[in-house]
Each structure stands twice: as C-alpha cells, then as structure tokens.
Amino acid sequence: MFTYQKLEAPSFESELCPEKKGDICQKSIRVRKSSLLTWTLAIIILGVVFVLIEVILWALKISHGLDSRDETFRQTEINLSGQTHEQNPLDKCSSVLDDRRFDCYPERDVVVTRELCENRGCCFLEVSRGRGIPWCFYPPDFPSYTLEEVNQTSLGLRGLLRRKVKAYYVRDIERLQLSVNFETNTRLHIKLTDASSPRYEVPFDVPQVTKKAEKPIYGVDLVEEPFGVVVRRIDSGAILLNTTVAPLIFADQFLQISTTLPSKFLYGLGEHRSSFLHSLDWKTLTFWACDVPPVENCNLYGAHPFYLMLEDGGSAHGVFLLNSNAMEVAVQPAPALTWRTIGGILDFYIFLGPSPAAVIQQYQEVIGFPTMPPFWGLGFHLCRWGYGTSNDTWQVVKDMRREEIPQDAQWNDIDYMVGYRDFTFDPERFDTLPQMVDDLHRHGQHYIPILDPGISSTQPPGSYWPYDEGLIRGIFINTSQDKLLIGEVWPGHTVYPDFTNPETHQWWFENLNRFYNQVPFDGLWIDMNEPSNFKDGSLDGCSSGDFDNPPYVPAVLGESLFTKTVCASAKQNISVHYNVHNLYGLMEAKATASALIKLRKKRPFVISRSTFPSQGRYSGHWLGDNRSQWKDMYWSIPGMLNFNLFGIPLIGADICGFSGPTTEELCTRWMQLGAFYPFARNHNMEKEKAQDPTVFSPKVRAAMKDVLLTRYSLLPFLYTLFHRAHLFGETVVRPLFFEFPEDVETYSVDRQFLWGRSLLVTPVLDAGIDSVTGYFPEGMWYDYYTGSELPSSGENLTLAAPLDQINVHIRAGAVIPTQRPGTTSWVSSGNPLRLIAALSQQGEAWGDLFWDDGESVDTFEREDYSYLIFNVSENTFSSRVVHANKEATCITVETLSVLGVKSKPSKVTVDGKEAPFFYLENQVLMVEHLNLNLSVAFSIYWK
C-alpha cells in the first residue's frame, strides 16, 4: 500500500514497480537504518557503475555519432541521495523531450527572454514547430522540496517537507506538512499545507474518517528528493499520478504541482466550452467565476476543479482539488497536467473507481449527492426577457394551453421588477402578476422569477427595505478599507450581500418572505452571481495590494481578478473575496434553497448561473447566455455531460438560444434536443422575436408538441433517474463510455448521450439535413417509437431524421416505465403507466420505478414513497414492490409492450388468467387494458 523511497522518480515510459507481491513494491528501497560501512560500499559500487555507464556512452557517441543521451540513461543519472551528476547545461536541457517540457514561465503579460528564463534557473530552448510548446522549462535538476521525515498515523502518513533553495516566487514557504490518508478502499486524500502557519481552506463539510482503509486498491509511493507522490493501481500497476516530473512550488500566492497522466482520455475540469473529451495539445483551462457569454478558451460562470480519466482497458479514476482560489490547469500531450492556484492549500482527493460511474459516485460522497427535484421541475419551462407586461406573459401561457402543448412553469426575467430592484414587481406593467400566478396554480402550473444578488443602493433612506435593513445588519461586502463596496449592475449602483455570513441567510429569507406574500412563487432563478459587476472592482477601483494584483494571475478573462466582478481584496465574513469568489453562487444557492423550504414547506427548485462543487445539493444550472446558432446547440451536449460529472444533474441550456434570431429549423431541432435536457427551458432575450412553440407554423408547432409529449411520457423514467442520483450519486445524463468503457470508439462521442443506462438520444445538430449518423455500441437497440430492432456490431449507423423526428433508442435488457402524457406533470402523474421491456439476446430485461407525491421534502428519508423493480426472464414479466405508499395505490399499469419477442405467443396470462394481446410484425408483443394497481405485485407470462 505504501513505500517510502529514496529512489529516482519513474520515467514516463517505465512503471515504478514492474514486479509486485500483494501491495508491496518489490523493487522499491525502503528507508531503514544502515551502517556507515554498508553505505560506503554502496556508494563505491554505484560510482563504479556510473563510470562504466559514462565510458559506454562515450564509446557509443564515438561509434554512432550520438549528440544526446537516451532517455533511459538520463533517468539513471539520479543517484540514491537524490542528487545529480554535473551535466553540460545544453545536454541537460536538450535531453527533455518537447512534449515533456513543464512551463517555467507561464506568465502571459511578458515576453519571455533567455535572460528572464535563466534567472529562474530554467532551460531556454526555442522551438520552431508546434504551438504552445514552452521555450522556458524546468531542467531535470531544478530544486524542489525534500521529504525529511514521515510517520505513520491512524489514517495513513504524515510527513514534513523542506525546501533548501528558495523558489522564484515571493514568500515561498520553506516547510510543508504532508498528510496522506487512506480514507476508503477507493478514496485517497492527500493534503499539502504550510507546516508553520494556518492558511485558508475551503469551508466544506467533507467526510470525517476515523479508520484507515483495510484493503485499498491503490498503492502510494513517496519519493524523498526531489519530493513526489506516485499513486498506482494495484491490480494493473498503472501509474495514475506521478508528481516527480516537475518541481513542487508552494509560495503564499503561487502553488504549482504537476503530474503525468496514464492516458489521453481526460474529461471534466469546468466550466468551459469545449468538446467533452479534452484536447491535451498545450491547453490551459482557467477556474474563476465570470459573467461572460459562453465562448471557447475562456473561464465561464462556475469552477469545478475535478477531472475524470479513462485508463487503458476502460478503468477510470478521478482527481479533485478542493481549492476555491483562482486557478488554472495546463495540459500537455506527454500526457501530463499541471495545477496552478494562487492561494489556499493543495488538498487532493483521488477516486479509484474503477468504473467511470463509480468514480462519480465516490466524488459525490465527498461533495454531497444532488437534491431530489420536485416532479414538476422536470416538465417544460418557458421564459423570455422582454414580455413587457404580466398580461403579455399570461397570454403566452394561455396560448400554450389553447394548443394543448405541455408546460409546467412560466418564468419572468428582470423586466418584471421596479427599476430592476430585487423583491419588487412593477405595479403598472406587471399589475396582474399575482392573479397570473394564482391562475397558474389553479391549472397545476408554477411560477419562477429571477433574482440578482446586486442590491440597489441609490434609493432615499427608508424607501427600500432590502438595502436599509442590510445596512443595519451589516451583511454587505466591504472594501479593504472597511467601507461599503459599491458596484454597478442592472439597477445602477449596487451593494452585494455576503452569503458567507449566516446573518445574510436570515436577511435573504425575510426579503423572500415579504415578496412571497405578494407573489407566491414556486422556485427561484438566481442569476449574475459570480458575482457580476458592470464596473471592474468597484466605483472607486481596487487596491494596489497583492490580493487585487497578485504576483501571478491565472489566464482569466481581462487578465485581472476584478474584471467584471468585485475587488479580490473585498472583505467577507469568513475571508477576503480573493479566497471565496468562486463560492459566491454556491453560498447564494444554499441560502435560497433553505429559504424556499421554510416558505413553501416543499422541495426547493433553484436554478443558478454560478456553481461550485456541492452545488447539486441546492440547485440546478443552466449553461448561460448562449446564442441561436447550430454550434451552440452542439456545445450544450458536452456542457450537459460535464455537469453530470460535477454532481449537478439538473442541467440544460436555453432551448433555441438566448441571443440572436432563431429559425424554424434550428428551433425545431433544438426543441427536440431540449426535450431531453434534464432541465428543459426555452428562453430568449429582449428585442428578439418570440420563440415559444405557439409562434411557429402549424407543422413546426406540431413537431415541438410531439417531442414534449414524448418527454412527458418519459417523466416516470426521468424521475427515477433523479432518485438514483439523489440516493446513490448516479448520473442522469451520461456519456456512452459510462456504459461501454471497454469500447474506445465511445470515448470521444459527444453528439449523442444516454438517459441512464438504457435510452440513447441521437439528435440532429446541423442545418439542412434529414438524416443523422450516430455511434451504436455493440448489441441490440430498439426504436423507442416503433419498437423495431436495430442491431449493431459497434458501428456508426445513419438513420432517417425528418424535421418532425428525433431518434431515440432503447438498449436491449432495459425496462422503461412511461406514462400517458398530459399537458402538465400534475395531469400526467395521475395517468396510467405503459411499461416497455426491451429484451436482451437472452430474453431478459430489468428496470425500476420510484414514485412519491412529487414535492414533499425527504420522502425517501421518511419512507413515504414507492419503489418497484421490474424483471423479465423466461417469458415472464414480473413486478416486485420493494416499498409502497398511498401514492402508488392511485396509479395503474395499463399497457405492457415487450420488444424483441421472436415469435408470436400462443397465449398470454396476467397473474395466471388468460388475456388478449397483440403481436406486431416487428416482433413487438402488446398487452393492453391491464388495469393493474401499481402497489400490488403482478406477473405476465407469454407462451
């Protein structure tokens, strides 16, 4: 499990322990007390060996004209004490291969010269080929930390590191404390911090472990000098982390650690707009919450320093850096990765899986499992900025009802407020808002308004309670001079609530309560919470100190920490904004969800723009201010997949696009895709043409209605997936490789996705086509609409895709619970069920169903729910009631469809009684008019 080494680090090509017995590295040298004679003999022998090697190399150079030594020989130059032999500087630098250069001068605001580079003690070699390859990089012997002592603890190990040579960043820390905790058999926790002084740590409630893992599936090796950690998978020997490849740097405002990667299949690291599978071609990903419409190569609304990596053979592991400071991750094709952050500590969790799904579950055991949304929250939502009046908003709802198009929630953007001020509604333009909300409730629908954190500060004293009361309680963010920080957002000059202050949560609740008494909303949309600021920093600028102008600034938008947000030096309750900026959206979501539970005594529904790990416990997320373009529709799929990795399954993008004009074709295709977003909302901005389904031609309107009815028919299945996410940390939407990790062809697929393990969605993402090509892993797939078979050997298949159709397929071996759709989730939830069983080659299938009242808090925890398991085996479909409550007694199973029945049965029996049935030419068996109560077990047999 653990070895403490005074050895050279493993090379990129070699494994640390090619021979193992159990979890002990047979070729590692354990530190132990040795006599002086033993060490003397060892040094003499090693000296002779090195002399021989030099002679051989010299001979090879003469005979073959070699200009540089082979990488294998370079690795042997590190002796047992961790020191290196003198080497010609040019040889030392040129021996480092291009893709293994670790950047010694990542600053972007200077032109790196040879003089600047060598002043840091680094190599400077120009490269004429390949963009991104650093010219200034670390030599193999660059000074790093030395592990001076290590001791066993009840959870693992504790060590002391010392830097003997100062690093080039100011206030570098000489002594570090290392802790390595074997928390579970699949979770390793490694922490590096200042050994002498406390530092800021993320205020998270992480699992508290009291006992060391007994049978971990990982091994850990510590290299003494230069210090490094090597983590390997015991069964395969794969090296998952190797931090010896570049020096560890730990200064007050610059922390850097690098590692090799076992493959090039890297995912996660959000929030960014990119393909789902990251390119490792010298990319830098930045983590600093920012209000910016989604574009490539830019830090966006949230920060999620977590990655998932697939290894050769399909095993997976994940790494989470629990740090909320400004950060960047640089990747390179070695493959390798470098973490850089400018504050806090290095606090890593490593998850060993070994399946991709297990990695995400293990990650959520640390950050928390997502909340269970209300059933209505999974319906269709409609919004736009620019309705103008409450009557105009209301008319859209009425138009949707007239066309019998499903809709569960109506939203309003900021135009409903008085002067864009929170907790107000315009008494003239939105005078009928309370009546509209009452009408929505009478029709089983819901209302969600927007709220921004910026509180208007320009009103006369005594005229705006949120500001006046906030001043009295002292809950706003202050400048570094202890004055109120004034920024500018939609209402003009604003102040910012400090959600790290518990008193702010109470103030937030009281404001919501006052507004709720006027407009009884059902959920909340929290926007602009990076926090956004139209002025950089504040009206008075920011300080000249190190928080606002740190020695190193990651690759953030605007090259400043206070671009489009508040000053990093601003003071908050638990720390300076420099440390907690990335937590702002999370803290606001936490306060909002808590307030909603108090107000409504029901499950909260919150959608937040800015997010951080554990956000899924309190809110969902939408992907921000996208554009009405085909490429933006595609980008929504990698975004949706990533947020499921991040433990925020309630995710979607603005259907049809937020800004710019849409078209009938684009909006139709996007409504088809959006019907399979976990959070499905159509939303666009002011001064653009309306894009709700009722404004389009009858043909397009019918296509949109049909796909929404498909979504509503699948709500029992989707709701069950959210239950499994809430209970077990499973993903709702997932990439194909989660289910087929040994199929390398699935690793880059991000134009398709799965609902759960068994529903494959293949949308059209390009203009002017009536077919779509998708990858189908090996096995049998069934058309969701017709039940027809689609066999695949693991190949790309081209399917017909007319404008009114999206391709959806069921994986063989699944049982999908569906329901006769209604125009609201409330109507649908009372309708009979149709169960679809898609038989495997062995004639088997499995599925489950979670059912409750759809809105009460903690129904599972209070055992007020129903849970059923469906099985098909030996020509028998059976239901087993694992747990039941009164809600299930109101629901009946009306129809069973069995796909893949090879021949027409001679008879069908339901609980032993013969029943009529239909058998279709495409091998679909249908049994209708069952009228079986969901709360009672039943069996259906065909002969």
Q: Which of 291, 527, 632, 739 is catalytic?
A: 527
Distance in angstroms (rounded) separating the CA atoms of residues 777 and 537: 51
Given the structure tokens 């007994």, which residue do they identify? Answer: 214
Cβ-count burial 146-178 (b if 16+ within 10 Å, e if not): bbeebeeeebbbbbbbebeeebebeebbeebeb
Count of beta carbons in the 10 Å neighbourhood of residue 275:
15
H or E element: which one contains 224?
A: none
In terms of Cβ atoms closer than 10 Å to its own Cβ (0-12, 13-18, 19+), residue 336 is: buried
Distance in angstroms (rounded) separating the CA atoms of residues 281 and 304: 21
Contact 733, 640 (CB under 8 A): yes
Given the structure tokens 């560890």, which residue do they identify? Answer: 248
Q: Is 911 helix (H, G, I), strand (E, B) or coil?
A: coil
Given the structure tokens 């009546």, which residue do they identify? Answer: 435
In one-letter notation, the amino acid at residue 13 is E
Residue 471 Cα to chain centre, angstroms: 36
Longest dimension (CA), the chain: 95
Please list the helix, strand and coil fractions of the chain in percent, rounded to the nearest 5, in that order.
25, 30, 45
SS (HEC) of 515-543? HHCCCCCCCEEECCCCCCCCCCECCCCCC
Contact 848, 869 (CB under 8 A): yes
Q: Which of 530, 625, 692, 750 is catalytic?
A: 530
Contact 602, 634 (CB under 8 A): no
Contact 176, 192 (CB under 8 A): yes
- CA angle centred on 325, ends 319 and 330, rounded to 5°: 55
683: tokens are 């939303």
Residue 884 per-residue DSSP state: -
Bridge-partner residues for 194, per DSSP? 176
192: tokens are 């590096």
296 counts as catalytic: no
Distance in angstroms (rounded) separating the CA atoms of residues 27 and 14: 13
Q: What is the DSSP string of 459-493?
A: SPTTS-HHHHHHHHHT-B-B-TTSSB--EEETTEE
- Interstrand relation of 524-526 and 606-608 (parallel, antiparallel or unpaired): parallel
SS (HEC) of 756-782? CCCEEEECCCCCCCCEEEEEECCEEEE
Distance in angstroms (rounded) separating the CA atoms of residues 693 and 825: 18
Residues with catalytic roles = 527, 530
